[in-house]
Amino acid sequence: MERKRIAIIGLGLIGGSLAIRLHEKKISSRLIGMDANPEHEAKALELELVDEILPLDEAIQQSDVIILAMPVDKMTGLLPKILDKVDQQIVLDLGSTKSQLVEAVRNHPKRGRYVATHPMWGTEYSGPAAAVRNAFENKAVIICNEEESDEDAVQWTKIMYSKIGMHLLQMEASAHDLHAAYVSHISHITSFALANTVLEKEREDSAIFGLASAGFESTVRLAKSNPAMWVPIFLQNKVNVLDVLNEHIEQLKKFRDKIQDGSEDELKKLIEQANQIRRIIK
């Protein structure tokens, strides 16, 4: 694959980690960066995540590929404006919701140049300093509505993701948002809510600190995640997120009621049912 000049708009955890990977895998001949936050731009240069920072218009002109890696609300506003300005460049996004974005450019004359993707990787940290090596490896990436994208754009995107070690899945944007609510968005809500529960109930930090087991850390670690990223995800995927969140509250109430009643057998059944997750998570 011929190396390309790649612009990354949004130099946080995801954009920064992808920049490292594109360079490592010799996919980029040049990496141009841009971020709404000048401190992130400076940090990305200092960390050599990108070769240079350029204003948006110049970044678009001087690139073969433009990658959007910013909060999804910002993306929905920016994507049509970027498509207004592209000629034959490929534009792709790494956002965690897909329906609104795909909808925002459905009738855009340059729609074909855009590929909607969601690489299923992240950590609970944010900003360019959180960028890590070997990100994305062995994780899934979902490409949505690929029939709406030009073939060359889809092909390059698929090869790029394969080269950085991801396995490809195709899905409609609406199906993506539904599944993402189940296997990613709800986990963040439960983790945020668990942190608030413990911080609310447990006034002695030292008790939490001293006693917190690996299990607690594991269920609560996502609570460190960035609101700028997650608020727009929950709101853009509102219908699916509310649906799964309501179901989750019902499931918790089942546990509450069975504990309240001291129903040993019923509790055992609920836990055995939950144990079925072993089918899915090794």
Of 3-11, 51-59, 108-116, 249-257, which part binds a copy of itself (CB under 8 A)?
249-257
Rounded distance between C-alpha atoms, residue 68 and residue 93, angstroms: 4
Rounded distance between C-alpha atoms, residue 6 and residue 125, angstroms: 24
Compare residues 1 and 212 and give the one whose CB is closer to a copy of itself: 212
Q: Does 37 bind a copy of itself (CB under 8 A)?
A: no
CA atoms within 13 A on the CB side of 221: 9
| φ and ψ of 214, to 5 deg | -60, -35
Rounded distance between C-alpha atoms, residue 40 and residue 11, angstroms: 6
Rounded distance between C-alpha atoms, residue 270 and residue 276, angstroms: 10
Compare residues 109 and 214 and give the one whose CB is closer to a copy of itself: 214
Q: Does 276 bind a copy of itself (CB under 8 A)?
A: yes
Rounded distance between C-alpha atoms, residue 270 and residue 131, angstroms: 39
Q: DSSP for 81-114, please give it.
A: HHHHH-SS-EEEE--S--HHHHHHTTT-TTGGGE
CA atoms within 13 A on the CB side of 53: 18
* Binding to a copy of itself, residues 129-148 (CB under 8 A): 139-140, 142
Q: Does 188 bind a copy of itself (CB under 8 A)?
A: yes
Compare residues 129 and 208 and give the one whose CB is closer to a copy of itself: 208
Compare residues 26 and 238 and give the one whose CB is closer to a copy of itself: 238
Compare residues 87 and 205 and give the one whose CB is closer to a copy of itself: 205
Of 15-23, 77-85, 107-115, 177-185, which part binds a copy of itself (CB under 8 A)?
177-185
Q: Does 121 bind a copy of itself (CB under 8 A)?
A: yes
Q: Does 270 bind a copy of itself (CB under 8 A)?
A: yes
Q: Which residues contact 13 (CB under 8 A, 6 or more apart)?
A: 122, 123, 125, 126, 127, 128, 130, 131
* Binding to a copy of itself, residues 197-226 (CB under 8 A): 197-202, 205, 207-225
Among 122, 136, 154, 166, binds a copy of itself (CB under 8 A): 122
Compare residues 103 and 247 and give the one whose CB is closer to a copy of itself: 247
Q: Does 69 bind a copy of itself (CB under 8 A)?
A: no
Q: Does 120 bind a copy of itself (CB under 8 A)?
A: yes
